[in-house]
């Protein structure tokens, strides 16, 4: 078995992994990136639609373009990149962590490093996760799998499609399926509002006259060998109205019902998971509960913009470098999600420096008010024109706001919306 040593190893070569690795290299440390696919870029490579990079590059790019731009920023670095290589085991019990990896090219590899950045991204929830009753025919795909089949591999999964869930990938796929000559008969959403962005509802559904059934549940998938239809039941006052159920004939069902951070490796390494995000519990340096293990991007919490992923990953990379050189966070305050906030990441802020916090609203509202409380005292309030769960929000808090917590060991910072 080949054994190699680095200061740091980044697991995952998508937008997050590349951005984190670049910072580690820039800090003069030796760093490796391990990516299971044959090329760097991650999920961006199958997102051939437009709209990436407005914050990062000040232009609208497709996913592959964004990935290539980030990859180009790695030229001139001394990074060791292992593509086509899968991390099978992460042993973080000792100060030097070991990653046991497999690849067709390198065989079994053991990479040793004092710091590891987790950047494995997320995966889709599937039919089993949401338990749609009915038959079990062929033709049921997650939207992201269908996206890969159509955009990368060149297969069209079916002709007559119903999309379950109105997440952004589902909406984007409604347009893609229409553009490759399929008929999308409906998008079915259990909630009373769409899960995706308004601009995607308009450009991906309205443009093609695709009906969006809000407050409707898919109660049955029908079909012997192949999908033949889905049974849809409206929800009124929180209850299914079975008398009003109807069936839509189709041969394909795409599921866009949420994403889950891919944390199997992290859990096996002993990382504590935040049940609200499905990602690691991290401190103000984006370090997990296992010293020397950092997390960023969609494996930490599911982002809606890759620009935010890159920003967060840079911080994780920089912090991992600082940590390797002996820096520690110092005095921290615990962060709590208050009313109408689903979660806040990271879970701790430091008093002596600026902290960027990302948080996700639980409600749809115009003219909302963001309130930040330190030990129940309002220290900041910001007007928000519009909030909705599909749009992540951010705020920066620094020493000026947090100084009052100095010397208070049990201080709590609460982010709320009303």
Partner 1 sequence: MKTELTCITCPLGCSLSIEREADGSLTVSGNRCPRGIRYANEELLSPKRMVTATVRVLSGSGAGHDRLASELMHERLPVRTSAACPKELVPELLQELYKLTVNLPVRRGDALLSNWRGLGIDVLASRTLG
Q: Which residues bind partner 1 (CB under 8 A)?
A: 38-39, 45, 48-50, 60-65, 68, 84, 104, 150-154, 179, 197-199, 201-203, 206-207, 366, 385-386, 388, 391
Query: 316 near 21, Cβ under 8 Å?
Result: no
> CB of 68: closest distance to partner 1 in angstroms?
6
Task: Answer yes or no: are the C-beta atoms of 214 and 189 closer than 8 Å.
Answer: yes
Residue 14 structure tokens: 């998508």
Least distance to partner 1, CB of residue 312, Å:
21
Residue whose entry in the numeric block shows the structure tokens 């969006």? 212
Q: Of the two residues 122 and 212, which places its CB atom closer to partner 1 in the complex?
A: 212
| Closest approach of partner 1 to the CB of residue 391, in Å | 6
Q: Between 28 and 211, whose beta carbon lies closer to partner 1?
A: 211
Q: 378 with 372: CB under 8 angstroms?
A: yes
Nearest-angstrom CA–CA distance, 356 and 272: 21
Least distance (Å) between residue 82 CB and partner 1 = 14
CA distance 337 to 301: 14
Report CA-CA distances (Å) from 85 to 79, 244, 409: 15, 51, 44
Least CB distance to partner 1 at residue 152 (A)? 6
In the bound complex, what is the minimum distance in angstroms from residue 141's beta carbon to partner 1?
17
Instruction: Find the shortest distance in angstroms from Cβ 199 to partner 1.
Output: 4
| Cis before 390? omega within 30 | no
Q: Which CB atom, from 203 or from 331, has the smaller least distance to partner 1?
A: 203
- How many residues in total does the chain contain? 418
* 31, 24 Cβ separation under 8 angstroms: yes
Contact between 142 and 321 (Cβ < 8 Å):
no
Q: Which one, 44 or 310, has the nearer CB to partner 1?
A: 44
Q: In this complex, which beta carbon is closest to partner 1, that of residue 36 or of residue 114? A: 36
Q: State the minimum distance, in angstroms, from the CB of residue 119 to partner 1.
A: 21
Nearer to partner 1, 75 or 376 (CB): 75
Tell me whether residue 64 or residue 258 sits nearer to partner 1 (CB atom).
Answer: 64
Q: Give the SS3 label for residue 142.
A: strand
CB of 103 to partner 1, least distance (A): 12
Q: How far apart are CA 364 and CA 104, in angstroms?
A: 48
Query: What beta strand segments (E) does 223-323 contain?
Result: 229-236, 239-240, 246-249, 252-255, 259-261, 293-295
Judged by CB, which is closer to partner 1: 376, or 385?
Answer: 385
Residue 116 pairs with which residues in a beta bridge? Answer: 9, 293
**Of the two residues 153 and 236, which places its CB atom closer to partner 1 in the complex?**
153
Q: How far is CA 310 from CA 13, 33, 183, 287, in A?
A: 12, 15, 36, 17
Nearest partner of 168 among 185, 143, 140, 148, judged by Cα: 143
């Amino acid at each position: 078995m080949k054994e190699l040593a680095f200061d740091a190893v980044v697991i995952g070569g998508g937008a997050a992994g590349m951005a984190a690795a670049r910072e580690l290299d820039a800090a003069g440390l030796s760093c490796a990136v391990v990516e299971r696919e044959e090329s760097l870029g991650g999920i961006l490579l199958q997102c051939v639609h437009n709209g990436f990079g407005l914050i990062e590059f000040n232009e609208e790019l497709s996913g592959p373009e964004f990935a290539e731009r980030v990859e180009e920023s790695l030229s001139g670095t001394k990074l060791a990149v292992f593509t086509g290589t899968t991390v099978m085991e992460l042993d973080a019990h000792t100060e030097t962590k070991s990653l046991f990896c497999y690849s067709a090219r390198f065989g079994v590899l053991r990479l040793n490093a004092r710091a590891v950045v987790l950047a494995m991204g997320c995966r889709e929830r599937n039919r089993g996760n949401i338990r749609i009753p009915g038959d079990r025919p062929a033709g049921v795909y997650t939207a992201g799998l269908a996206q890969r089949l159509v955009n990368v591999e060149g297969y069209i999964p079916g002709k007559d499609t119903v999309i379950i869930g109105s997440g952004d990938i589902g909406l984007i796929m409604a347009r893609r399926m229409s553009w490759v000559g399929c008929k999308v008969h409906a998008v079915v959403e259990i909630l009373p509002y769409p899960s995706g962005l308004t601009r995607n509802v308009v450009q991906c559904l309205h443009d093609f006259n695709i009906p969006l059934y809000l407050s409707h549940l898919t109660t049955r998938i029908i079909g012997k060998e192949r999908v033949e239809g889905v049974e849809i039941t409206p929800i009124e006052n929180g209850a299914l109205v079975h008398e009003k159920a109807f069936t839509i004939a189709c041969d394909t069902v795409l599921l866009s019902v949420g994403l889950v951070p891919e944390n199997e490796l992290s859990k096996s390494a002993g990382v504590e998971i935040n049940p609200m995000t499905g990602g690691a519990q991290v401190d103000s340096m984006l370090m997990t509960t296992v010293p020397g293990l950092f997390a960023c991007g969609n494996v930490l919490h599911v982002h809606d913009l890759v620009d935010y992923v890159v920003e967060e990953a840079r911080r994780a990379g920089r912090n991992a470098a600082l940590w390797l050189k002996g820096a520690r966070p110092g005095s921290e305050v615990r962060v709590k999600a208050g009313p109408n906030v689903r979660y806040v990441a990271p879970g701790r802020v430091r008093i002596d420096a600026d902290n960027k916090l990302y948080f996700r609203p639980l409600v749809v509202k115009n003219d909302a008010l963001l309130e930040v409380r330190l030990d129940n005292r309002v220290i900041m309030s910001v007007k928000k024109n519009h909030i909705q769960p599909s749009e992540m929000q951010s705020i920066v808090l620094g020493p000026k706001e947090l100084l009052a917590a100095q010397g208070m060991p049990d201080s709590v910072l609460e982010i709320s919306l009303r």
